[in-house]
Amino acid sequence: MKLWAGRFSKEADSRLNDFNASIPFDCRMARQDLAGSMAHAAMLGKTGIIPQSEADAIAAGLQGILDDLESGSLQIDMSCEDIHTFVEATLTQRLGDAGKRLHTARSRNDQVAVDLRLYLREQAAGLVQQLKELELTLCARAEEQASTVMPGYTHLQRAQPITFGHQLMAYGFMFQRDLRRLHNALDNMDQCPLGSGALAGTTYPIDRQMTAAALGFAAPCENSIDGVSDRDYCVELAAALSLVMAHLSRFAEEIILWCSYEFRFIELDDAFSTGSSIMPQKKNPDIAELVRGKTGRVYGDLTTLLTMLKGLPLAYNKDLQEDKEAIFDAFDTVKMCLEAFTPMVATMKVHPEAMRQAAAAGFINATDCADYLVKKGMPFRDAYKIVGQLVALCIRKKLTLETLPLEDYRALSPLFDQQVYQAIDLDRCAAGRTSYGGPAPQSVLAQAASLKQSLAAL
């Protein structure tokens, strides 16, 4: 059955059918299509566009189709052009002429637009919960490791002392912004296109406020052309998902580095690692690597959507059928990545001794040594130069700033005394960075508390 067959005197070529059909991917919107149709039928009955008895019969018939799909007693006919055709055909088979009245004052253009918004709204809500779970996991791990000293890096070179909890909370705040972006995208798409018709509305006395409220939207779309041709929300969601993947990928890269023998800062649980077919000693961070690799896939989905819309005239064009596969894939990919990534982070083992050893060997307390001289009255640039000379001396003697004898310090400046060793103690260096947002243990705990509070409000 084709809803548009009346105009044509010849059967469509089978190759056109295969190329034109969208049911292989839009079948996942069956529940949303039925919900939109139920709201539309209720409105048709209330406004008197069709008899209330027929509206009631249609609603019951649609509910029956939904029940049968969920029970498995009804299977979607994949030979139908799209999910809308399947639902209408099934309804008509069951109700006769009453089923044919459902499409009064409606087009597939506004129908698919409302189905897609309903579906993506639900998908986004599920993703929000997954991100919250990751956030809470990061907060818990950060609280555990609030005092674990490690080197912070710039240019992938050891730079200054931080805590592992501080590093984890950096990702926590990245994902917090991702949550806000998703909520913003959901707010922007909170208008109902149902009732826009093909593009020009309808001459029937429909009640668009009624259908919008029934489907949980704040209001109807204010312009019928925009209602059927808008796919900004797909792009916004894909952009938000791309940033989620960017943050997951950055985190994955560090996890890959941290669990290597060159770092050995962490060890992934056996349940979230794989081995080698030939090298029995290997324990590979495949989940992190796959997350890093799948990031490009989501970026590609965003590019697909942007390219599809570029130069597309109003109102509906068949090009818009390409929206679903791209945005569905983006959601599927991000959800799959989070499903594996969160428990991997929750179960990874931390090696504080390796982090501290790297911190001690990297001269990351050099700035603190310079600050020690500044607090005694020396200009920072002079202090900077002296400490640079001390680092060079340590490298020649194969020592660290903590093990360099005091006489070597005093040879470069008489301002040095025994207290310098307290000033450059790694625990003190990290704990002393109490500026807002810094790595001190109490600051990390405050960051975790703040993030958890904001999550409760989202």
Among all residues, which ones are annotated catalytic?
Answer: 155, 276
User: Parallel, antiparallel, or unpaired for β 157-163 and 149-154?
Assistant: antiparallel
Residue 4 CB-half CA count within 13 A? 10
Closest to 240 in 3D by CA, of 184, 178, 170: 178
**Spatial distance between the Cα atoms of 146 and 430, rounded to a whole number of angstroms:** 10
End-to-end CA distance of the chain: 45
Please answer whether residues 135 and 172 qualify as being in contact, where contact means their C-beta atoms are separated by less than 8 angstroms. Answer: yes
Instruction: Pull the structure tokens for residue 307.
Output: 């390219």
Residue type, 264: R
- Using DSSP's 3-state secondary structure scheme, residue 161 falls into strand
CB-based contact 384:370 (threshold 8 Å) = yes
Q: How far, in Å, CA of 297 to CA of 293, rounded?
A: 8
Number of H helices, E strands in the chain: 20, 6
3-state secondary structure of 457: helix
Contact between 382 and 412 (Cβ < 8 Å): no
CA separation, residue 423 to residues 59, 317, 395, 411, 440 (Å): 75, 68, 20, 18, 15
The total of other beta-carbon atoms located within 10 Å of residue 188's CB is 13
Contact assessment for residue 336 and residue 123, using Cβ atoms and an 8 Å cutoff: no
SS3 state of residue 151? strand
In terms of Cα–Cα distance, which of 134, 409, 153 is closest to 265?
Answer: 153
Instruction: Dump the DSSP string for 397-423.
Output: HT--TTTS-HHHHHHH-TT--TTHHHH
Q: Count Cβ neighbours within 10 Å for each residue of 31-42 and write b for 16 or more, e otherwise.
A: bbbbbbbbbbbb
